[in-house]
Amino acid sequence: MIRFLLALFLLTSSALAQTDTLRVKVDSLFIRASSGLLKYRALEEPSKKALREMPTAIPYLVEKLAIQDARERRELINILGKMPDAIMPVCSAALSPNKDIVKTACEILSAIRDTIKDGHAATPYLLKARMHPELQARGYAVFALGKWGGGGAKEALQEALADSVNFVRVEAAAGLGYLKVTATLPNLIQAFADDYYGVRFAAANSLIKFNNISLPYLYKALESENPMVRQLAAETLGKMRAPEAVAPLSRLLKSQLWTDRLAAMEALAEIDTPTARQLLSSHSEEEPLLKTRLEELTKK
């Protein structure tokens, strides 16, 4: 019995020593990868590479998710975000009551999604994380949901797009661009009327990601009773440079509202097809500001 206990003690001591050695190694590599100190500059990328190629480092890296230093946090996301084996440990961390851990975990999951294209392993965890009371934790979870997709993601993002917090709505609008579910296009068009500029900007960028699928919705938005919706629809069509949008924009060019006409002019100039150029060349303006801008656009 004494021999057995002694052997068990020695085995346990050996395991603990190995664990401590691994922790020291991970900490040492992480310091070199994230400190930003001049003496470690040449070692930054090799240290990141070494950590990414060390699956046994994942538990020790996950322990650092509550990190406060901005540089260290960024590098932690950069390292774990390229380690698909970290998905489940990071998913578990996303359910932490600690807002800092949840935010970092959700950003890591967003980054990991860029390295794998299939599966929805993180979705159930993100659906829970997006209910976090802290606004940034909620926002990062919503954005990650857009990337991971899966059952419940569409409804969660639609709900988040009506959140009372600006940041959450911005992340929801951005997330919908990655989710790319056609049924959410009306939600993105509706976001053009949001009071917060960031939400409108994110919605426009997401509509662009849908490519031609979003065109009919944008054409309809050009006829909205809300001037801001009309003008953002025109701006988005200009960024998409869709030749098919010239005809709908030509109708907005006849609006009584000068801001509508300006938006149409700018969009037509970006589309820059022969038909679009002809429309601008034949268009005339009495409004001094628009007249000057029209001259600038037609000289290009």
CATH of the domain at 37: 1.25.10.10
235 lies in the same domain as 127: no
What digits encode the pLDDT tens for the residues 5-40?
344 333 344 443 455 788 999 999 999 999 888 887
Clarify whether residues 88 and 178 are in a common domain. Answer: no
Residues 50 and 135 in one domain: yes
Q: Distances from the Cα of 249 to the Cαs of 86, 228, 232, 269, 300, in angstroms? A: 48, 15, 12, 11, 19
Claim to verify: residue 40 and residue 66 sit in the same structural domain:
yes
The CA distance from 255 to 42, in Å, is 60
Q: Are 102 and 94 in contact (CB under 8 A)?
A: yes
Question: Do 160 and 257 sit in the same domain of this protein?
Answer: no
Could you tell me if 208 and 236 are in contact, meaning their C-beta atoms sit under 8 angstroms apart?
Answer: yes
Domain presence at residue 6: no
Give pLDDT, residue 2. Answer: 52
Residue 166 and residue 113 in one domain: no
Q: Could you tell me the CATH number of the domain that includes residue 291? A: 1.25.10
Which regions in the chain score pLDDT beneath 50? 4-17
What's the distance, Cα to Cα, between the start and end of the chain in Å? 92
pLDDT at residue 300, as a whole number: 67
Would you state the pLDDT for residue 46? 92
Residue 95 inside a domain? The answer is yes
Cα 160 from Cα 24, distance rounded (Å)? 42
**Residue 215 falls inside a structural domain:** no
User: Do the domain assignments include residue 218?
Assistant: no
176 and 142 together in one domain: no
Is the pTM here over 0.75, yes or no?
yes
Q: Is the same domain home to 166 and 245?
A: no
pLDDT digits 0-9 by tens, 138-169: 999 999 999 999 999 999 999 999 999 999 99
Name the residue with tokens 């090799």: 46
**Domain count of the chain?**
3
What are the tokens at 10? 């020695």
Nearest alpha carbon to residue 188 among 151, 221, 142: 221
pLDDT the model gives residue 287: 86
* Domain assignment of residue 14, yes or no: no
Q: Does residue 18 sit within a domain?
A: no
Verify that 38 and 141 share a domain, yes or no: yes
Task: Please tell me whether residues 42 and 146 are part of one structural domain.
Answer: yes
Residue 196's domain spans which residues?
Answer: 152-209
In a domain, 263, yes or no: yes
Establish if 192 belongs to a structural domain: yes
